[in-house]
Amino acid sequence: MFIRNCWYMVAWDHEIPVEGLFSRTVIGEPLLLFRKSDGGIVALEDRCCHRLAPLSMGRREGDCVRCGYHGMKFDATGACVEVPGLDTVPPKARVRSYPITVRNRWVFVWMGDPARIDHTLLPDNSSCDHADWRYRPGYLHYDANYLLICDNLLDFSHLSYVHEKTLGGSARIAQARAIIDPVPHGIRVTRHVPDVPPPPYYQRMRSFSGNLDRWFIYDFVLPGTLLMRSGGRPVGSQPDDMRDAVQLHSCQTLTPETDTTTHYFFQQSHLANQGDDSITQGIYESLLVAFEEDRRMITAQARNIAVDPDKPMLPLAMDSALTQYRRIVQRALQAERGEAVVHP
C-alpha cells in the first residue's frame, strides 16, 4: 500500500518530449504524459476507457491524444471528444487526469485526491535548477520495493562496505554515530566522520595530501526524498573554512512503480565555481558505479526476502533512522485510511 496524497516525481523535465508521448507507471497506475502546445505537461491514465489499450501507443493530435486501437480522441482533461463512427460521445467516455507541477526540473504528479493538493509538500530540490550548482541528472530502475531503498539511504554505515572503493573509503563511516532529528514530514540525519582518507571520487575534484573531516547532513522526507549537504575539509581546518573543502549537494527521490519495482531519480551537484564539465561528468560516472553497487546488493536482498517474506529481520542500533522513517510512513498511511494514528 502506498501514500497517495503526496507529490511523486514522475520524470525529469527533459524526459517529456516536445512532440510525442511518454509513459511511466507510478504506484501501480500507468500514466501517459505529453506536452501541450504551450509547453504545459499533461498526465492522463494510460488506459483507454474503451478496451483499456495504452493511450501511449496512440498519437498526439494538437493538445489531444488519439487511441491507437479504435481511434477515440481525448483532450488534456481526459474527456473523450471524438469517437469514430458515433455522432455523440457517451458522457462516461473519459480517462482520469492527474495534477502535474514542475519544480526545479523535477516533474511531480499528485496521485491522490485533487481536493487535498498541498504544494507545501514539494521538496526543496533547489540545487536542481540553481546557478551556484552543476550536475548531470540520473535515473535508475530497481527490481525492489522502494522502502528497501529508503532503508539503504537512511543508514550510511553501508558506505564503509558496499562503497568501500567508491563513495566510502573508510570503515570509520560505519563507526560514526548518526544524530537524528525530526523535520516536517520526515527526519534529518547528521553524521560527522573526522580524520579519514578522502574517497576516490573526491580525488577527481582536487588533490588531497592528507585526511579529511567529512560530513553528511540530509533531510529524508515523504514520500521518499533525500536532500543532502555533504563534503570534506582537510583535518585541522576551522568548521567555517571552506577554501579547500569539497562541497556537494544531492537530491535523490524514490517513486514506487509497483510493489516490487522502483524509479530512482538522482543528482549530486558540485559548486559551479569549483570544477568544469569534466568534474560534473566525473561525479556522475562515480555515482553510477556506486549506485550500481547499491542496486546489486538491494535487489539480491529483495530476492532473499521474496523466498520467505515472513522471516524477521534483526533490528540493530544502526537502524534507528530507517525505523523512525518507516513509522512516519505508517502514520501517513493510517491518516489517509482514517484510522487512529498510533504514536510510539
Is residue 198, in this structure, part of any structural domain at all?
yes
- Tell me the backbone φ, ψ of residue 110, rounded to 5 degrees: -100, 115
- pLDDT score of 203 more than 80: no
* Domain termination residue (choose one: 90, 120, 150): 120
**Ramachandran quadrant class, 306 (left: phi over 0; alpha: psi -120 to 50; beta: rest):** alpha
Supply the CATH number for residue 204's domain: 3.90.380.10
Query: What is the domain extent for residue 110?
Result: 7-120
Q: How many helices (H) and strands (E) does the chain have?
A: 4, 19
Match 554505515 to its residue by C-alpha cell. Answer: 157
Nearby residues of 269 by Cβ (< 8 Å), 6 or more positions away? 127, 128, 133, 134, 135, 248, 249, 250, 251
- 107 with 187, same domain: the answer is no
Judgement on whether residues 55 and 185 belong to the same structural domain of the protein: no
Q: Is residue 47 part of a domain?
A: yes
Angle at 129 between CA 126 and CA 130, to 5 degrees: 80
Taking 80 as the threshold, does the pLDDT of residue 168 lie above it?
no
pLDDT, one tens digit per residue, over 94-139 is 999 999 999 999 999 999 999 999 999 999 999 999 999 999 999 9
Is residue 201 predicted with pLDDT exceeding 90? no
46 part of a folded domain? yes
Instruction: Check whether residue 160 and residue 292 sit in a common domain.
Output: yes
Count of the separate structural domains present in the chain:
2
Average pLDDT over residues 282-297: 93
| Mean pLDDT confidence for 197-202 | 82
Mean pLDDT of 304-313: 96
Same-domain check for residues 11 and 83: yes
Q: What is the pLDDT of residue 160?
A: 81
Same domain, 196 and 281: yes
**Confidence at residue 198, expressed as pLDDT on a 0 to 100 scale:** 87
pLDDT at 204: 74
Give me the chain's average pLDDT, please.
Answer: 93
What is the tens place of the pLDDT at every residue in 13-60?
Answer: 999 999 999 999 999 999 999 999 999 999 999 999 999 999 999 999
Q: Tell me, yes or no, whether 310 lies in a domain.
A: yes
User: What sign does the dihedral 75-77-82-84 (CA atoms) show?
Assistant: positive
CA-CA-CA-CA dihedral for 336, 338, 340, 342, to nearest 10? -10
36 forms beta bridges with none
Instruction: Mark which of 93, 120, 147 sits at the end of a domain.
Output: 120
Kindly report the CATH number assigned to the domain that includes residue 84: 2.102.10.10
Decide which of 78, 100, 120 is a domain's last residue.
120
Q: Same domain for 108 and 184?
A: no
Whether residue 152 sits in one domain with residue 58: no
pLDDT for position 57: 98
Query: Quick count: other Cβ atoms within 10 Å of Cβ 10?
Result: 25
Lowest pLDDT segment from 9-23, 30-44, 170-184, 296-310: 170-184
Per-residue pLDDT at 76: 98
Q: For residue 342, is pLDDT > 70?
A: no
Residue 326 has pLDDT above 70, yes or no: yes
CB-neighbour burial class of residue 186 (10 A; exposed 0-12, middle 13-18, buried 19+): buried
| pLDDT given at position 114 | 96
Assigned C-alpha cell, 282: 566525473
Residue 185 and residue 200 in one domain: yes
Q: Is there a single domain that holds both residue 141 and residue 73?
A: no
Q: What is the pLDDT of residue 296?
A: 95
Cis peptide before 223 (omega within 30 of 0): yes
Q: Given pLDDT bands bounded at 50, 70 and 90, which one contains residue 158?
A: confident
Indicate whether 344 pLDDT > 70: no
Give me the pLDDT at residue 207, please: 80
User: Is 67 part of a structural domain of the chain?
Assistant: yes
Give the pLDDT of residue 310.
96
Residue 341 lies in a domain: no
Can you read off the three cell numbers belonging to residue 168? 566510502
